[in-house]
Amino acid sequence: MDEALPRSIETVVIGAGQAGLIMSWHLQRAGRPHVVLDRRETLGGGWQDRWDGFVLVTPNHRTELPGFPYDGADPDGFMARDVIAARVRSYADVIAAPVHPSTEVRRLRVPGGGGHRFRLETSDGPMDADTVIVATGPFHRPRIPAAAADLPSRITQLHSHDYRAVSQLPPGGVLVIGSGQTGVQLAEELREAGREVYLSVGHCGRVPRRYRGQDVFRWLRHLATRGAEFDAALPTVDQLPDQRMRFAGNPHLSGHHGGHDTNLRQMALDGIHLVGRFVSADGEHARFGADLAANLRFADDFFDMRFRTLIDTFVERAGIEAGPDNRAWPVFEPPEVTELDLAKVGISSVLWTTGYAPDYAWLELPILDDFGVPRHVRGISEVPGLTFIGLLWQRNLLSANLVGIDLDAEYLAATW
């Protein structure tokens, strides 16, 4: 927007991706004066940081936003990067969100004394607010292990955050380290481009693209919105046996080519070389854990352990007609490989798909937990007036996903 940034206001939303804009929609409905600040010049959220061939794993029909339903011709398709970024950008216009782009929040603190509760130092000067909603997403700083420094200098190394296309990489094989959603998709893309691909497989689950006749995200949406009616609700963050599970990679699947399963055993049969979890490097020698078989079993069992019973219970008790469980996958057991001579097997590039670390250095308040993320209950922090939206496991698995953000925003708008 062209208006000058106000120096004081009731509410500031930090971040104009889908989470911040959804929160703006709820604030407008409640009649609460606010602005939305975003450090980017061009709106579209973090989708703009994805690689050129990126497509959503979430079906188009699940990109509906409050006040902005999906009305396209392909509800069961999967949007490409530029399409979803443009949709988020359009949403800001549709709801007339009071967005100030190119406005980075460099510091947030409680100044003390009278007046407003919060002081924000921004790239456009200071401003004061009574309440602040942080909507900066869960993905801040690309995480690359220290052992990357032990790889030979001839190897081109990129984090997926900086990767755009195979043309960035020199000729030769590629070692992809990380088997979450991004890792498996990039491994497939590189293989399709004719590259020899090695995929380092970690402890990450997978879910089927379709289960009992429906896309898995239809079932997850049902569990999130109606599961409690039938004692089949998604587990909440307080039910996790270990809070470190909040940071596990998203279960892998793909929206490419109309959407498909990403079965690691099938990928191995199709020519992608699987190795275990990356452990260390010593020049040309990269070492991996002897855990490939165990990690493949975990991926195979993940859906059954976490979701199948919930979905089946929901189907039965809600009286929904659904097809059979007709999933099938190969039983191929790739060999355990604990060391690779990178030069010998022709690897010229390493692509790190190892996720992100939180970065709240600008948040000058003592509210970060041992993992570096804000302490909160369903997004409401211990600092009066400070809330968060779009965090990993803010409420459940879907909280940082297009499917779940509106549910959390609706709760905050009604509670806070």
- With pLDDT > 70 as the criterion, what percentage of the chain qualifies? 99
Give all strands (DSSP E) within 220-360, no chain letters: 273-275, 278-282, 285-288, 339-341, 347-352, 356-357
Contact 311, 223 (CB under 8 A): yes
| Mean pLDDT of the chain, nearest integer | 95
pLDDT digits (tens, 9 = 90+) for 249-279: 889 999 999 999 999 999 999 999 999 999 9
pLDDT-derived band at 340, boundaries 50, 70, 90: very high
pLDDT digits (tens, 9 = 90+) for 98-150: 999 999 999 999 987 666 699 999 999 999 999 999 999 988 999 999 999 99
Give all strands (DSSP E) within 292-400, no chain letters: 339-341, 347-352, 356-357, 376-377, 380-381, 386-388
